[in-house]
Amino acid sequence: MKTFRKTILFLLSFMTISCFGITSVPKANYQVVPLPQRISNTAGGDFTLNNKTVIVYTKGNTPQKQTAEFLAEYIKFGTGLDLKITDKRIAENAIILRSDSKKEKPESYTLTVNNKQIIIDGADEAGIFYGVQTLRKSIPDNVQGTSVIFPAVEIKDYPRFGYRGMMLDVGRHMFPVEFIKKYIDILALHNINRFHWHLTEDQGWRIEIKKYPELTKAGAYREQTVIGRNTGEYDGKPYGGYYTQEEVKDIVAYAQKRFITIIPEIDLPGHMLAALTTYPNLGCTGGPYKVSQLWGVFDDVLCAGNEETYTFLEGVFAELIELFPSKYIHVGGDECPKTRWKECPKCQAKIKELGLTDDPKHSKENKLQSYVISRIEKFLNSKGRQIIGWDEILEGGLAPNATVMSWRGIEGGIAAAKEHHDVIMVPTSHLYFDYYQTKDVDNEPLGIGGYVPVEKVYSFEPVPTELTVEEQKYIIGTQANLWTEYVPTSNHVEYMVMPRIAALSEVQWTMPEKKDYGLFLRRLDSLMKLYKKSGYNYATHVADIFAKTETDASKKAIIITLSTYDNAPIYYTLDGSAPSAKSRKYIQPVEIKETTKIRAIAIRGNDKSKEYTNQFDFNKATLKNVELVSVPHKNYTANGAVTLVNGTRGGNSYANGEWLGFVGKNFEAIVDMETITDISKVSIGTFMGIGAWIFGVTDYTISVSNDGTDYKQVFSQQYPVREENDPRDITVDVKAEFPTETARYVKIVAKPTNSMPDWHAGKGKGAFIFIDEIIIE
């Protein structure tokens, strides 16, 4: 009877606990972003974080005390627990910060958890800080005013690269001091240790230089700003501002406390219209100049033959190095047209004085730019600093001690590493965060173009296999860049950066053999909950349905595989109707063999995902064999020739994987219809975007054949070069109609603009053409 009563009491107690909603103590999860190098479960017993826990730092260690204060703030934010910090020795219920692992790799740490302590032992103070970041991110998102269990563990962690950067352009659009600090906090959350601050542009000079006060009176402001992508329409509103030296000092100190070094950039000798507006004597023509109201690249640059230019630059950098303790100073060097230098008597005199001549690799004007960069490098070296420059500084010969930031692909980085120069990889293809992060650009804020989703960022490997083991050592790190022509607000900055910065952080920190995109997405889910709790404005595209489209030529079918990062159930329709939980549930890949509109949603509890929609249009060319006679540009190969006959249109972004891009050659393709077929119409889809140097077709020819050898031309048409006053990004179908022909093979030739007109920044150079679909009727 006593046993029965005890059982009843136990059950009643259990039911009471359940009814009052008392749940188990939340447990920390060490699967964070970036993923630590080694996580080992141990038998030391779990640690319970509660309101009696104390954070202990080493007495007299100011940086450690600051990190302890950060940890207390993080824990209060994450749990509601208000912990005390102390430099007294406490053995139990303590989080202990120390730096005893002096022989370990820089910035490394060991995080040990047992039933009495959490110990974060750093190789240096930065290592302790990164251990704190891991601990902070391991706290569950649903904790408030309760204890947290930290399972017994030993984490040994260190960064793959010593240089882990993120750039922000404040020249095109400027952001408040408080947001710059918030941006630095976001970087710290992701273990990033370099903030590349792009401070000057054609559109505005953003830093006070006391020797040249007019820079921030005239050069910091533009009269108005173009609307959209150089549409010719303007907002009519003056725009500008700058950071005072006192503000800069405050921001530098703020970053230092978070173990982030700020690398300032004064871009030269191009992108200097703001400075030329202030001091027109520094230009080749003498002006007048105007702070640019447009986006782009401009012919007016600093005069390389004028000694006053070097006096000005040395004056600017002399003040800059007093504000920024960074080893590196970024000097730009990108996108500097040589148009003015070729015509400028002073520049030509300097070329003659230096004995510069053209050679098969470099023009004398390119060598003159090398002289400019080398001269500034010599000045900065004399002050104990090193320079970083964009990969154009390779043109004309590399300055002796320069570090190259390779942005136009990885080729510049490879070339620099082979010359034993340090390299930071920042290719547009993977690490330009001003590019769109989804193919659905119609529902995104206006962007510059391109397509860099989270997965593409994550896939980047900074160390090229083309380098020897010795040469690979010169790849010192990587960073992502956020240019702000089309990013006018702080909220927009956050949206473009997160969560792509999370993928970047694993490229920078985690060893490549430990990376796994599927597992990363699960860990990213927890990090995004922290974003939400922090009030960040982050993109959520990773929660959308992921659709993989393949073609099966043997079945004459398009195969669609749908998935979500968390395996949420997916429901879809094929008749164009809106999907719901009552629609067909996705179980296996869907085969499409005729014109179809697929619509799908994922359902998570009461929440629906963004709808996935795609239209597949079949025509006589769909899924036929296509021979690409001309090879597309290596950055725009999409899925190869099948992209042209996969039933899918390219959409409004040329870099979304549905367009083939060609430059310096005709587009030429041959479609094998497999049997003799009646043909009277042949169309191709094209994309045009002047800002991206993409022009339309200038000549379109169709020929047909029965044997694939002898062709008969059935259509030919020429088209004018696109006009300057039409800056829109548009898609245009180029159509050929002719009397019905019977043929098996169809040859399509489309010629590009071989020389862009004088009004364009790329005048004289060949334009891209982009093709998405061949339609034969």
**How far is residue 715's CA from residue 681's CA, in Å, rounded to a whole number?**
10
| Residue 690 backbone zone (phi > 0: left; psi -120 to 50: alpha; other: beta) | alpha
Confidence (pLDDT) at 161: 98
Confidence (pLDDT) at 10: 41
pLDDT of 347 > 90? The answer is yes
pLDDT of 20 > 70? The answer is no
Q: Which phi and psi angles does 284 have, rounded to 5°?
A: -70, -30
**How far is residue 438's CA from residue 541's CA, in Å, rounded to a whole number?**
7
What are 380's two structure tokens? 């900065």
pLDDT in tens, 553-566: 889 999 999 999 99
Confidence (pLDDT) at 335: 95
- Point out the least confidently predicted range of 45-59, 222-236, 268-282, 702-716: 222-236
pLDDT in tens, 482-492: 999 999 999 99
pLDDT-above-90 percentage for the chain: 87
**How far is residue 244's CA from residue 208's CA, in Å, rounded to a whole number?**
5
pLDDT of 568 > 80? The answer is yes
Confidence (pLDDT) at 725: 61
Mean pLDDT of the chain: 94
pLDDT band at 629 (very low <50, low <70, confident <90, very high): very high
pLDDT band at 23 (very low <50, low <70, confident <90, very high): low
Q: How do strand 386-390 and strand 403-406 relate by DSSP bridges?
A: parallel
Mean pLDDT within 49-78? 97
Task: Using the structure block, give the residue that is written with the tokens 């159509």.
Answer: 735
Confidence (pLDDT) at 773: 95
pLDDT of 39 > 90? The answer is yes
Strand, coil or helix: what is 4?
A: helix
Confidence (pLDDT) at 499: 98
Determine the length of the chain: 777
- Point out the least confidently predicted range of 61-70, 663-672, 719-728: 719-728
Burial class (CB in 10 A: 0-12, 13-18, 19+), 548: exposed
- Point out the least confidently predicted range of 158-162, 223-227, 442-446, 742-746: 442-446
What are 288's two structure tokens? 């007048």
| Residue 57 backbone zone (phi > 0: left; psi -120 to 50: alpha; other: beta) | beta
pLDDT of 750 > 50? The answer is yes
pLDDT of 710 > 70? The answer is yes
pLDDT in tens, 599-628: 999 999 999 999 999 999 999 999 999 999
DSSP assignment of 230-291, as one string?
T-S-B----EE--B-HHHHHHHHHHHHHTT-EEEEEEEESSS-HHHHHH-GGGBSS------
Task: Using the structure block, give the residue that is written with the tokens 């904790």.
Answer: 143
Confidence (pLDDT) at 691: 77
pLDDT of 382 > 60? The answer is yes
**How far is residue 640's CA from residue 665's CA, in Å, rounded to a whole number?**
17
Mean pLDDT within 531-560? 94
pLDDT of 5 > 70? The answer is no
Burial class (CB in 10 A: 0-12, 13-18, 19+), 655: buried
pLDDT in tens, 99-141: 987 778 999 999 999 999 999 999 999 999 999 999 999 999 9
Confidence (pLDDT) at 762: 78
Mean pLDDT within 686-699? 90
770 closest CA partner among 731, 742, 728: 731
pLDDT in tens, 631-687: 999 889 999 999 999 999 998 888 888 999 999 999 999 999 999 999 999 999 999
pLDDT band at 11 (very low <50, low <70, confident <90, very high): very low
- Point out the least confidently predicted range of 168-172, 572-576, 721-725, 745-749: 721-725
324 closest CA partner among 374, 249, 387, 390: 249
Beta strands in 386-492 (DSSP E): 386-390, 403-406, 423-425, 475-482
What are 703's two structure tokens? 């020929």
198 within 8 A of 171, measured Cβ to Cβ: yes
